Amino acid sequence: MAAYLLGIDVSTTATKALLVDAQGEVVAVAATEYPFDTPHPLWSEQDPVVWWYAAVQSIRDLLARTAVAPGDIAAVGLTGQMHGLVLLDETGAVLRPAILWNDQRTGEQCDEIRARLGKDRLIQLTGNDALTGFTAPKILWVRQHEPQVFARAKRFLLPKDYLRYRLTDSFATDCADGAGTLLLDLASRSGSRAMLEALELPTDFLAPVYEGPQITGHISATAAAATGLREGTPVVAGGGDQAAGAVGVGAVREGIVSLALGTSGVVFATVNAPYFEPEGRLHAFCHAVPERWHLMGVMLSAAGSLRWYRDTFAPGTAYDDLLAPAEAIAPGSEGLLFLPYLTGERTPHPDPLARGAFVGLTVRHTMPHLTRAVLEGVAYGLRDSFELMKGVGLRAIEQVRVSGGGARSPLWRQILADVLDTELVTVNTSEGAAYGAALLAGVGAGVWPDVETACEACIRVTGSTAPRLAAVDRYEAAYIAYRGLYPALKASFVELAHF
């Protein structure tokens, strides 16, 4: 049996290729960067061809730097940025630049989707409210504003699935990424006829939907010549970046939650049934793991809040030097709270007008108090997602697996463990979604019988932070005060927006 697995991640800024062996050890990583375009305010676009050229470059770099023969690669797994719209004509040619996940032009189309279905029915079908980042509103925008383009469109693909098409000549998507289009039925894990009919889209507009480890095609002769891969190498469905990233840290069963503490903060909880939050304040998607779903809360300014704070008040200071004095401050920062809505918020308040604030300042407060308050405010904001998840069926949390740049801070990990009142652990994997895609490829190739077995074989806990009882009690009171801030300030945020 071939001994290696290839994971490819088509992100917003680069395409990464990652090679792992049959024990899950990373052999090599290569990445090729590219920009994205903002042709108008709030717009975000990318030419899909750059993903293909970047993938070719990254794969060739990877093969050149290792002694691995293309024939020793058992399978390829794909992941990437979710929600992007790639429109193809009947020949498979791209009709316009892809509209990306962070494009904000589709507010009117979101309202139209709610009007066509009713918000309650929309959430019951798809698990989600209509948001500007999702794919379906983008399709309606093109139909309304670029009718000549839409008239030629025969199919749409998501970013990683366009790469799949270039690699295999096959049209396919996976359950997890497909759920982010707003065109998948959450419960049945298949295309939603009700959604397609309500939006007046043909039933074959959405590509066939597969489970994450299923084989969707094989490397074509043309792709083999371009990339150096072996013709006929299987390519599995993979998953959107969040689901694949959860596989990459082993968050594949109930009780284990992934917390990614990057610029934004993502709380990802695997569930065994298609739960959804009735008001749509959480994302509810299919997992890349067969017969599993997930709930997801997204906080827009997590580690981004600390970066803003450092760059504004202590530019050039190393993070370790900035955080060290805050360790001496007692939990709760002597009554100082930080509201981390520096770029608006998504969970639990989908409000672009929400703003950041320090509340409770007195003359006793020093810079270390402010520093600790920022860390605590982000922790409270992440707890909001946990509370929503508990309210819609998430069972007891056994363990939170934390990753991302913010997770490097022992102080921040301790604050999170105390605020969440649960064990926080780190794991041996740090390559995120590309690593998860490689594990999914391994399951598809028969290296492991299922995703859970793959994760148990390859992912190990490397550190643990337990909550402290006294701090848990103190933070419980502070969190109650924190939860009162947004309702109290919401009207002020609207007024301040006019300035």
Cα distances (angstroms) measured from residue 342 to each of 323, 468, 491, 497:
20, 29, 16, 13
Distance CA 483, CA 468 (A): 22
pLDDT at 301: 92
Is residue 415 a contact partner of residue 253, using CB atoms and an 8 Å limit?
no
Among 114, 124, 432, 450, smallest CA distance to 278 is for 124
Which residues lie closer than 8 Å to 98 by C-beta, 6 or more apart?
A: 45, 46, 47, 48, 84, 85, 86, 159, 162
pLDDT at 316: 95
Q: Is residue 320 annotated as part of the catalytic site, yes or no?
A: no
Distance CA 348, CA 279 (A): 10
As a three-state string, the secondary structure of the chain is CCCEEEEEEECCCEEEEEEEECCCCEEEEEEEECCCECCCCCCCEECHHHHHHHHHHHHHHHHHHCCCCHHHEEEEEEEECCCCEEEECCCCCECCCEECCCCCCCHHHHHHHHHHHCHHHHHHHHCCCCCCCCHHHHHHHHHHHCHHHHHHCCEEECHHHHHHHHHHCCCCEEHHHHHCCCCEECCCCEECHHHHHHCCCCCCCCCCEECCCCEEEECCHHHHHHHCCCCCCEEECCEEHHHHHHHHHCCCCCCEEEEEECCCEEEEEEECCCCCCCCCCCEEEECCCCCCEEEEEEECCCHHHHHHHHHHHCCCCCHHHHHHHHHHCCCCHHHCEEECCECEECCCCCECCCCCEEECCCCCCCHHHHHHHHHHHHHHHHHHHHHHHHHCCCCCCCEEEEECHHHHCHHHHHHHHHHHCCCEEEECCCCCHHHHHHHHHHHHHCCCCCHHHHHHHHCCEEEEECCCHHHHHHHHHHHHHHHCHHHHHHHHHHHHHCC
Q: At 164, list the tokens.
A: 């799949």
Which residues lie closer than 8 Å to 333 by C-beta, 6 or more apart?
A: 365, 369, 370, 372, 373, 376
Cα distances (angstroms) measured from residue 218 to each of 171, 236, 462:
12, 9, 36
Which residues lie closer than 8 Å to 67 by C-beta, 6 or more apart?
A: none
pLDDT at 394: 82
Cα distances (angstroms) measured from residue 398 to each of 269, 394, 401:
11, 11, 10
Beta bridge partners of 236: 215
Burial class (CB in 10 A: 0-12, 13-18, 19+), 445: buried
Catalytic residue of the set 241, 320, 351, 450:
241
pLDDT at 329: 98
Cα distances (angstroms) measured from residue 19 to each of 64, 245, 422, 495:
12, 16, 34, 52
Per-residue pLDDT of the chain (499 residues; tens, 9 = 90+): 568 999 999 999 999 999 999 999 999 999 999 999 989 988 999 999 999 999 999 999 999 999 899 999 999 999 999 999 999 999 999 999 999 998 889 999 999 999 999 999 999 999 999 998 899 999 999 999 999 999 999 999 999 999 999 999 999 999 999 999 999 999 999 999 999 999 999 999 999 999 999 999 999 999 999 999 999 999 999 999 999 999 999 999 999 999 999 888 999 999 999 999 999 999 999 999 999 999 999 998 999 999 999 999 999 999 999 999 999 999 999 999 999 999 889 899 988 889 999 999 999 999 999 999 999 999 999 999 999 999 887 877 889 999 988 999 999 999 999 999 999 999 998 888 999 999 999 999 999 999 999 999 999 999 999 999 999 999 999 999 999 999 999 999 999 988 8
In Å, how far from its chain's centre is CA 492? 31
- Tell whether the torsion through CA atoms of 252, 256, 261 and 264 is positive or negative: positive
Distance CA 289, CA 287 (A): 5
- Tell whether the torsion through CA atoms of 297, 235, 202 and 95 is positive or negative: positive
Q: What is the reported pTM?
A: 0.92
The full set of domains in the chain, from first to last, is 4-243 (3.30.420.40)
Omega before 348 cis (within 30°)? yes
pLDDT at 427: 94
Q: What are phi and psi of 491, to 5 degrees?
A: -65, -35
